[in-house]
Amino acid sequence: MSNYHHVNFLWDDAKAASLDPVGRLIYRSNLLGSDQRITNTGGGNTSAKILENDPLTGQPVEVLWVKGSGGDLRTSTRENFSSLYQEKLLGLQRIYASRDDKGLKSQAEDDMVGMFSHATFNLNPRASSIDTTLHSFLSGKHVDHMHPNAIIAIAASKNREQLTQEIFGGEMAYVPWMRPGFELGLAMQEIANKQPNVKAIMMGQHGFISWDDDEKTCYAHTLDFIEKAANYIEAKYAANGGDATAFGGQKYVSLEPAKRSEIFAKILPWLRGQVSKEKRFIGTVQDDEKILRFVNSQDAARLAELGTSCPDHFLRTKIKPLYVDWNPQNEDAAALKLKLAAGLEAYRKDYSTYYGICKHANSPAQRDPNPTVVLIPGIGMIAWGKDKSESRVTAEFYNCAVEVMRGAEAIDAYVSLPQQEAFDIEYWLLEEAKLQRMPVEKELARQVIIVIGAGSGIGKETAHRLVKEGAQIVCVDMNEAAAQATAREITDKYGVGIGVAGTGLSNCGLAIGLVANITDRASIRKMLDEVAIAYGGFDSICVTAGVFVPSDTSGHIPDDKWALTFSINVTGSYFVADEAFKTWKEQGLRGNLVLTTSANAAVAKKGSVAYDVSKAAGNHLVRELAIELAPLVRVNGVAPATVVQGSALFPRDRVIGSLAKYDIPYTDDEATESLVTKLARFYADRTLTKSPITPADQAEAYFLLVSKRLSKTTGQIVTVDGGLHEAFLR
């Protein structure tokens, strides 16, 4: 086929020719994975059977390179692929055949997965995928197994077998749903042997697999099948009336974008609290045209109840989403909350019933019964995950499910996987083992922390410190560009994760940069609402924003400068606390507020009257707020002193002023860096520990106070001043 409308043919012969055989497999995999219409994030796998020299004998031997467990085709590199002796894998068939307990979903089948490591070629440490046998037992040199929405739409139709025949003629065979494993590999081998003209197999309620001895042809075939499926679906869809009649036609109308954001902001923190009773979740909002068409439709309630089909999809989306029949045209946010509360209760009950009916004697214990996908007419979808990346994957998979249902309903009727089959995937002991192998979650995992003042100095350092512990970080600053620069530094360093979904702000990665002026309540509220849309809510806030306005040359501070100092250093912190507390109460999850005071709060000095008095007020604000916000939120303060390096409070002018004040020699043309070092040294020598104090030293204190390490401490000021005995609190 030369004309593609539903996929892009991207193969570049010159590029392919420049690569070694494994490199070409990776190239093909990245091309396939980069198109959401071809496969979903983390879904599908590719392989190539390549002649390699055996390290023991030096003789050529056929090695199966196949995408291993974990990772994603789009971003795969060599280390995502496992390599196995093809002959040894085929040899497993004899061992399997000799087992008395063999069969679909048997112990013998699962045991074969453990045998894969005995077939490892060249000590490759990548764990093999459960799909390894699919690739090994088909004789094609190159094999692609994909999860395209257009193909799954056929695979999840009531008459999937006839449709496969009708659409693909004799080119694609059909295998009914089987849990992936040894038996599925054997079934495919038999089909390929009996029907030598077949180039692919439709996998009932799952996806498809295709192969060829030439890699470019293999790639082209994969695209051709998807193109053919999509052409068939879109022709029927259009003939049936297209978007206007999709999913039985429209029942509700979407709210305007601003109104949608308003409703999301009103319900998200509360909803996050409701679904985070066992463990906290991070949210992603989707309100593009496709998802709105679905949630607004006549059939949304019925189709949502059926659940998702492809096993990849429902492992994240759970067996089904929670659909709430709220009327966006004549009901308000309060009514929505009531309906969500009732819906959640029913959902949890349903989930426990499903577990109770389907469980086996050796099934793992019931997992969190809360939905991970919530559908609301008029506004869209909310998806949950343990971090931002996972919540975007959840959203992506339900977007896929909607596309699958659209296609299946256009050509036939959508059917989901039988409940027991879904359970046997969700609670599969091999899946459980995979979960157990996951690394222990970091200390601040599942948390959203807002750092106000993150554009520079201590705030920026704190943002970097907290993200290292697994938190999602909202970088807030009056200077929007500076806030976004810090967020970008973080995402550049840690990546934005996987999962292609999320609308607007909610499309973000593990850090986002937002603007706010803390002297303006409306500006703070707007920022907190944006945080709700980006992540679903927040856990802790660190306020590092502050201002130092020096007295004039005569030692006097003008009235407007006095007012500005108090407005930022005292009232600003209070406004943040007061606005955030409204959200914290809605969310109902424990949180932390850390304010920034100063050693100057306790030491009276010449030349900084406004600053010092404002910081003394800051100390008492910490204590008052600790009482007001208890027991939900702990409130503490960090009192830094004389952090010169990297501080926005110490521009060159102030550094020179201080050097002059303390009679420290300097020259006017001296580099700022050198002036700063001189002043930092001078301050260090005044402390008990005789060491310069850095933003990193401060960041450590914010980390301790937002972590559980000081979980019984509230209303306190932690000094990070190198030891200034004049500033000892008493």
Residues recognised as catalytic:
611
> HEC states along 219-245?
HHHHHHHHHHHHHHHHHHHHHCCHHHH
Contact positions with Zn ion (CB under 5 A) in 542-571: none
Whether residue 631 is preceded by a cis peptide bond, meaning omega within 30 degrees of 0, is yes
Cα gap 505→512, rounded to integer Å: 8
CA distance 539 to 272: 11
In the complex, the smallest distance separating the C-beta of residue 207 from Zn ion, rounded to whole angstroms, is 5
Looking at the Cβ atoms of 181 and 207, the one nearer to Zn ion is 207
Can you give the C-alpha Rg of the chain in angstroms? 30
The smaller minimum CB distance to Zn ion, of residues 207 and 692, is found at 207
Residue with the shortest CB distance to Zn ion? 207
Judged by CB under 5 A, the chain residues 182 through 241 that form the site for Zn ion are: 207
Q: What is residue 594's three-state secondary structure?
A: strand
Q: How far apart are CA 562 and CA 560, in angstroms?
A: 5
Pairing relation of β-strands 380-385 and 282-286?
antiparallel
Q: Beta-carbon neighbour count of residue 338 at 10 Å?
A: 13
The Cα 344–Cα 374 span in angstroms is 10
As beta bridge partners, residue 596 has: 638
| C-alpha dihedral, 373 to 377 to 379 to 381, nearest 10° | 10
User: What 3 state SS string does 527-568 have?
Assistant: HHHHHHHHHCCCCEEEECCCCCCCCCCCCCCCHHHHHHHHHH
Nearest approach in angstroms of CB 43 to Zn ion is 6
| Per-residue CA distances from 265 to 254, 268, 424, 528, 667 (Å) | 16, 6, 37, 8, 54
How far is the CA of 402 from the CAs of 2, 304, 425, 469, in angstroms?
A: 29, 9, 21, 35
The distance of closest approach from Cβ of residue 500 to Zn ion in the complex, given in angstroms and rounded to an integer, is: 18
Structure tokens that stand for 378 in this block: 């008029």
Q: How far apart are CA 579 and CA 525, in angstroms?
A: 6
Rounded to a whole number of angstroms, the minimum distance from the CB of residue 365 to Zn ion is 26
Q: In what order do the strands lie in the sheet with 633-640?
A: 511-515, 472-477, 448-452, 540-543, 591-596, 633-640, 717-720
How does DSSP assign 137-193, residue by residue?
Answer: HS--SEEEEE--HHHHHHHTBTTHHHHHHHHHGGGEEEE----SSHHHHHHHHHHHH
The smaller minimum CB distance to Zn ion, of residues 133 and 296, is found at 133
Of 147 and 446, nearer to Zn ion (C-beta) is 147
> Which of 13, 10, 19, 17 is CA-nearest to residue 38?
10
Minimum CB distance to Zn ion, residue 133 (Å): 13
* Angle, CA of 299, 305 and 308, to the nearest 5°: 100
For the bound state, the minimum distance from the C-beta of residue 186 to Zn ion, rounded and expressed in Å, comes to: 17
Reduced to 3 states (helix: H, G, I; strand: E, B; else coil), residue 479 is coil
Q: Which amino acid is at 330?
A: N
Count of residues making up the chain: 730
CB count within 10 Å of CB 18 equals 11
Give min distance, CB of 147 to Zn ion, in A: 6
| Residues 287 and 322: beta-carbon distance below 8 Å | no
Taking the complex as a whole, how short is the minimal distance between the CB of residue 58 and Zn ion, in angstroms? 37
User: What residues between 99 and 138 interact with Zn ion by CB under 5 A?
Assistant: none
For 524, residues 6+ apart whose C-beta sits below 8 A from its C-beta are 516, 517, 518, 575, 576, 579, 580
Cα(151)–Cα(36) distance, integer angstroms: 13
DSSP secondary structure string for all residues of 371-432: -SEEEETTTEEEEEESSHHHHHHHHHHHHHHHHHHHHHHHHS-B----HHHHHHHHT-HHHH
Q: Which two tokens stand for residue 336?
A: 């929505």
Min CB(129)–Zn ion separation in Å = 9
Which uninterrupted H or E stretch holds 32? helix 21-33
CA distance 523 to 538: 17
Nearer to Zn ion, 178 or 267 (CB): 178
Could you give the angle at the alpha carbon of 358 between the alpha carbons of 114 and 106, nearest 5°?
A: 30
Closer by beta carbon to Zn ion, 207 or else 591 = 207
Near Zn ion in 327-386, by CB under 5 A: none
Residue 71 or 207 having the CB closest to Zn ion: 207
| Interacting positions 569-628 with Zn ion (CB under 5 A) | none
- CB count, 10 Å around CB of 166? 12
| Total number of residues that touch Zn ion (CB under 5 A) | 1
Q: Whole-angstrom Cα distance, residue 431 to residue 154? A: 27
Residue 312 C-beta: closest distance to Zn ion, Å: 6
CB of 45 to Zn ion, least distance (A): 7
Cβ 210 to Zn ion, closest distance in Å?
A: 13
Q: Tell the smallest beta-carbon distance from residue 72 to Zn ion (Å).
A: 13
Q: How far apart are CA 151 and CA 378, in angstroms?
A: 29
Q: Which residues bind Zn ion (CB under 5 A)?
A: 207
